[in-house]
Amino acid sequence: MHGYPLGKVPALRSDTRFSAFWLLPVSLLHRASCLLLSLLAVPALSAPLPPLGPIDAGTLALWVAPLDGGPPVYTHRADAAVNPASTMKLVTSFAALDTLGPDFHWQTGLYSSAPVNGTSLAGDLYWRGNGDPAFDFDALADLTGQLRDRGIRRIDGALLLDKSAFTSLGSSSEQDPDEGRTYQVGPDPLLTQYKTAAVRLYAGDSGWQVVLDPPLRGIDTRNRLTLTPGACTGGVGRHVSASAQERNLVLNGKVPAGCDGSVLYVPLLDHDTFQAAAFDAVWQERSGQTGLPVRRGNAPADARLLASHESPPLSEVLVGLNHYSNNVMARQVFLTLGASDGNGGDTVRNAEAAVRAALTRHGIDSRAFVFENGAGLSRRERVTAGALGELLRAAQRAPFWGEFAALLPRPGGAGTLHQRLPALAGRARFKTGTLNDVHALAGYLDAGGRRYALVAIVNASGIRNSALDSLVERIAAALDAQQVQDRPVAGR
């Protein structure tokens, strides 16, 4: 039984190391040279756009400007309200770093007001969550292990799920897979393992054996897989169709023998039922007890804390969230902002107010943004390329610049840029955004001897990410060429 690494299901833990180059502003020497060459080294305001390829100019919003200040060098429909897709996660992440701080931790606890008689808790146990995006089976094992350390082996009452942290959860008006990286799971104060289970496949003489990890009680697995010869080309997900309805998990497909030992991650059940099954599996492993009654309920004021689990720091959570464009994690962070003032009220409305307040503190016009859930998995959310670009510049001036730079994927590195923009490896960091008719990149580019903030968003169907990538590569080449063109000729 294992928890998932941050952000991706499945994923390796994101490498949070990054070059000191991305932590520091432009060097003093570079700043001095920029003062001397600024009129020569930077293209004129609204320089002609490079060739757009298959992208229609009327569907493109573009803003490119030096990170250390000055007018944009490329701007096209930069004030148009466009759907940002997952680049909206940068806005939520910026606000979270500003409002909560990079070292913020979520707390999850087990509470009870009942006495302990011998090895039995003589009453109900309350499981209270505060929206931890990274809470997984390992975290749940940590909590139940603390109960066992207290000598508790049996709970005589019920397990009550305390979800009072969020008063509302918001909506998602878009259910397309976002970059194929995350499951479409909604937020919850007690989100556990992204509400997914691992399905392990083992090839045997009689066909495929399917093992659910952990073995969630009450799940009926219907194995309709056929074992075929050959390699597991493209990964097991290319060969298996998994569908879950209520308590039934149905697996179909012709699966090559080369997929032996592979793992699928499948969202199951509703949140309450999944949490009840997860606690049952982990507590049974700890104590041998199973079948606790489960219902919702808020811990009474006199309940004492029996066990607690602290999440990784916000800065680490945001790396996994953004590198793998994890929607439910972003929504958890957004809602946490809404709950952070502790004054109650509607969590979603409070979250939007908190994000707008953070933008305003940094001189960014919050009117350029429309929010639904803070993840970009939406047909309603809007940004302007100019306002998002100014956020990128504001981050460089903020005390959390290092943490913000770290959350942006690099070409060829872990996450959504792993196989994209190879020509810009080592000189760019971009957050990606993809829906059926949205393609977006927002981040930082080194070109022509300077560092730029860049936002490029296309709202159109029939376009591939590669078309946007090619445009950004042409922009980088144009900026490089401008530096060469304006470089003084050395004397003989």
Mind listing the domains of the chain with CATH numbers?
20-103+315-486 (3.40.710.10), 107-171+270-311 (3.50.80.20), 206-265 (no CATH)
Q: What pTM value is reported for the model?
A: 0.89
pLDDT tens per residue, range 390-445:
999 999 999 999 999 999 999 999 999 999 999 999 999 999 999 989 999 999 99
The pLDDT of residue 484 is 55
Checking if the pLDDT of 54 tops 80, the result is yes
Spatial CA neighbour of 366 closest among 356, 374, 352, 358: 356
* pLDDT-based confidence at residue 174 (cuts at 50, 70, 90): low
The pLDDT of residue 38 is 39
The pLDDT of residue 163 is 98
pLDDT tens per residue, range 213-258:
888 988 999 999 999 999 999 999 999 998 888 889 999 999 999 9
Contact 321, 194 (CB under 8 A): no
**Beta pairing class for 241-245 and 220-228:** unpaired
Contact 243, 232 (CB under 8 A): no
pLDDT tens per residue, range 259-307:
999 999 999 999 999 999 999 999 999 999 999 999 999 999 999 999 9
Whole-number Cα distances in Å, 59 to 49, 179, 296, 343: 14, 20, 47, 42
Checking if the pLDDT of 143 tops 70, the result is yes
The pLDDT of residue 5 is 56
Q: Residue 344 — left, alpha, or beta (φ > 0 → left; ψ -120 to 50 → alpha)?
A: left
What is the C-alpha separation between 137 and 214, in angstroms, rounded?
A: 9
Higher-confidence position of 176 and 455: 455
**Beta pairing class for 438-447 and 450-459:** antiparallel
Checking if the pLDDT of 364 tops 60, the result is yes
Amino acid at 408: L
- Whose tokens are 């305390």? That residue is 162
Checking if the pLDDT of 137 tops 70, the result is yes
The pLDDT of residue 244 is 85
What is the C-alpha separation between 4 and 13, in angstroms, rounded?
A: 9
Share of the chain above pLDDT 90, in %: 80
Contact 125, 148 (CB under 8 A): no
Higher-confidence position of 242 and 8: 242
User: CB count, 10 Å around CB of 463?
Assistant: 19
**DSSP reduced 3-state for 23:** coil
Name 405's Cβ contacts closer than 8 Å, sequence gap at least 6.
18, 22, 23, 395, 429, 444
Average predicted confidence (pLDDT) for the chain = 89
Largest CA distance in the chain: 93
Share of the chain above pLDDT 70, in %: 87
Q: Name the least confident of 15-29, 290-304, 322-336.
A: 15-29
